[in-house]
Structure 1
Amino acid sequence: MADPFSTVQTELPRDRWGRPLITPPDGGDPVAYTRCTTFVGCLEDTYHLGQWQLRMAVLGMSRRKDLILAASAIDDPTDQYQKRKLNDIAKAAKDAAAGDAAANTGTAIHTLTERIDKGEGLGDYVPEEYLPDLKAYADITKGLAYAEIEGFCVNDALRVGGTYDRILIFTAEFLDNFERVNGFRLRWPGRNALGVLTPQGGEEIQPGEAAIGDVKTGHVDLGQGKIAMQEGVYANSVSYDHTLGTRSPLPGNPSKEWGVVVHLPAGTGSARLLWFDIAAGFEAASTLAKGVQGWRKRKDLTHVFASTSVTVQAGPTLVEQIKAATSYTALQGIYAMNSAKWTPGLTALATERRAEIEG
């Protein structure tokens, strides 16, 4: 008899769309939660990203004559199979213009920063041009500790699940070093009487206090809203253990007001730490994003008030038409009307029928 305890579920189960399957708080069968990036992404302005992708596709086509030839062979862009082929051509063109190079580089650097934070080595070989990036990351984060790295959490009220990059802890070493470099103690951001963000306007940060952290290797200016919402959802979530289906408070009790982004633009050898207003981000996620998601699920916005149906009797098939033809001219007419879907088998059948007619 097989050991019922021999199989251990090590990976978070997901449905066919990649959504995490989460055991409800009160038990029962797992249900699909929306991924956090998807949930907050409904409010993201993708115009500039779309324009960039178009530019890369155009540039890539100019470098790949074979893709131009492949595209010229498409005669019906509404056909599902030819649409798929066009999608493949567009992706290949974007890749040809190194459209995915920045994403691949960013992903690699992101992985290496995780190894730095875990105290692991960088491996046998890291391209020399990226060593300044990693050195800048190590310098800017020196002294920070981590309550958790790449932890999965859920917000049951929103039915959202996702993986945060870090829960970072401000240590005495980090805070003392900040004061030594900048000449003042690090404080949480605050707001003035008009509600305007004022860096260093809040309470002095004490050793042991924590914040949700994120590492970004690309542009952050155009994605501020999405980052703030995503970190806000994480900060207002609980840790989830999929092997037991249990929940627990986030380690370190990170701030629900402010999150941190380590901005490490790939290839620049520079890094900076940014505060993000995640309280505002969570408010947007729990109201605006939730409203948009709900609106998209509405299925009660249209009603039929009149209908009719007509049954059309199917005409004779091509085989039947060929067999019923009474002259070679009739056979030629059948071919002329159906040349686009003519097959060798129909040619053979028409030749046989012609012989019968003329014999």
Structure 2
Amino acid sequence: MTLVGAAKRPALLDVVRQLDPEDASDKRRLNALADQAMDISGANAKREKGTHLHTLSEYADRGDPLPFSTTVNDQLDMAAYMGATVVFDVKAVEKFVVVPELGTGGTFDRLLEYSGPGPDGEPVEGHFIGDLKTGSIEYGALKMATQLAVYAHGELYDFSRFPVDTTNKKAFAAWKKRLVPADEAAAAYNPLPQVSRKWGVIISLPAGSAECTLHWVDLEIGWAAARLAREIRAMRRVKGAMRPWVTGVTKPGDA
């Protein structure tokens, strides 16, 4: 998509030819030009549209009216979203969790309370991690199951206990290096409510489709994949898998 953007705006290539990728300053400019080319190609349009629908869905879940400027297509998408998710009671929106076991973290979209038929038709009830997807979900089942499984095994982390101005680069860099007493750091963690580690919910709302569907995802499969990924990352740090060929070594039996 970067090449498509450059083809649409050939002047970008004229600037690129004048920059040295080995120079730190020029490298930053090259990265900025690559981002610009991506924008020109339209590659970020879907992402921005998805972010917009996520924001509108928060209005819907709070019971607030949609902004006056909301387009007809977006209203139709939100009507489909509200119709599909009426079976849920939304308990939390956009919460950050950390998973010390994996050394990772992330923000889940929804904590949903549900009582009704489960994946096999048998009754289930409780709290479930939910995630809103505004693009295609055709090929991402394992990835989504892994993502939601990580969330379900996480602990809530309260950033407000350690406020920082992330727009101030120096202050943010100093904040990241700050030593925090163990008891103060521990107070920022809180357990999730009793949440299912067996099943999660994908809310599929392809942008502009006016259609919303719900899908169960198996978090036990996802958690196994997450732990496997951790092992693979660890193996990538292992040294000594390859060694140089040594010449002149006497074979056994040679004299």
TM-score w.r.t. length of structure 1: 0.55
1:300 Cα deviation (Å)?
Answer: 7.1
Q: Secondary structure at the match of 2:86?
A: coil
1:280 Cα deviation (Å)?
Answer: 0.6
CA spacing shift, 1:60–1:241, aligned 2, 3 Å: closer
1:297 Cα deviation (Å)?
Answer: 4.2
Question: Is residue 105 of structure 2 the alignment partner of residue 161 of structure 1?
Answer: yes
Structure 2 partner of 1:71 = 16
Q: Secondary structure at the match of 2:157?
A: strand
Q: How far apart, in 1, do the equivalents of 2:75 and 2:53 lie?
A: 10
Question: Is residue 147 of structure 2 the alignment partner of residue 205 of structure 1?
Answer: no
Aligned-residue identity in percent: 35
Q: How far apart, in 2, do the equivalents of 1:169 and 1:148 lie?
A: 10
1:214 Cα deviation (Å)?
Answer: 0.3
Query: Using CA pairs below 8 Å that are at least 6 residues apart, which structure has the higher relative contact order?
Result: 2
Alpha-carbon displacement from aligned partner over 1:103-138 (angstroms, at most 9, x marks no partner): 111101111112211222322311222211111101
Structure 2 partner of 1:291 = 231
Q: How far apart, in 1, do the equivalents of 2:46 and 2:93 lie?
A: 24
Q: How far apart, in 1, do the equivalents of 2:190 and 2:32 lie?
A: 44
| Cα root mean square deviation, aligned | 2.7
User: Which among 78, 81, 85 is matched to residue 141 of structure 1?
Assistant: 85
User: Which among 108, 117, 125 is matched to residue 69 of structure 2?
Assistant: 125
Q: Secondary structure at the match of 1:142?
A: helix
What letter is aligned with 1:290? R
Q: Secondary structure at the match of 1:138?
A: helix
Q: How far apart, in 1, do the equivalents of 2:30 and 2:156 lie?
A: 42
Q: How far apart, in 1, do the equivalents of 2:99 and 2:214 lie?
A: 26
Structure 1 partner of 2:199 = 258
Structure 2 partner of 1:107 = 51
Where structure 2 has 5 or more consecutive residues not aligned to the other structure, the ranges are: 162-183, 245-255
Q: Secondary structure at the match of 2:192?
A: coil
Question: Is residue 144 of structure 2 the alignment partner of residue 227 of structure 1?
Answer: yes
Q: How far apart, in 2, do the equivalents of 1:220 and 1:212 lie?
A: 17
Structural mapping, 1:317-328, within 5 Å: none
Structure 2 partner of 1:236 = 153
Alpha-carbon displacement from aligned partner over 1:261-294 (angstroms, at most 9, x marks no partner): 10111111111101111111011112x1111232
What letter is aligned with 1:101? A
Alpha-carbon displacement from aligned partner over 1:139-186 (angstroms, at most 9, x marks no partner): 111141022222222223223322211111115xxx4xxxxxxxxxx2
Q: Secondary structure at the match of 2:123?
A: coil
What letter is aligned with 1:204? P
What letter is aligned with 1:289? A
Q: Secondary structure at the match of 1:112?
A: helix
Alpha-carbon displacement from aligned partner over 1:283-312 (angstroms, at most 9, x marks no partner): 1112x11112323444677999xxxxxxxx
Structural mapping, 1:1-359, within 5 Å: 56-74=1-19, 76-171=20-115, 175=116, 186=117, 188-190=118-120, 200=121, 203-206=122-125, 209-242=126-159, 243=161, 245-246=186-187, 247-251=189-193, 253-286=194-227, 288-298=228-238
Where structure 1 has 5 or more consecutive residues not aligned to the other structure, the ranges are: 1-55, 176-185, 191-199, 305-359
What letter is aligned with 2:15? A
How many residues align? The count is 221
Q: Secondary structure at the match of 2:76?
A: helix
Greater C-alpha Rg: 1
CA spacing shift, 1:137–1:284, aligned 2, 3 Å: same
1:231 Cα deviation (Å)?
Answer: 0.7
Q: How far apart, in 1, do the equivalents of 2:157 and 2:42 lie?
A: 38
Q: How far apart, in 1, do the equivalents of 2:190 and 2:14 lie?
A: 57
TM-score w.r.t. length of structure 2: 0.76
Q: How far apart, in 1, do the equivalents of 2:207 and 2:129 lie?
A: 22
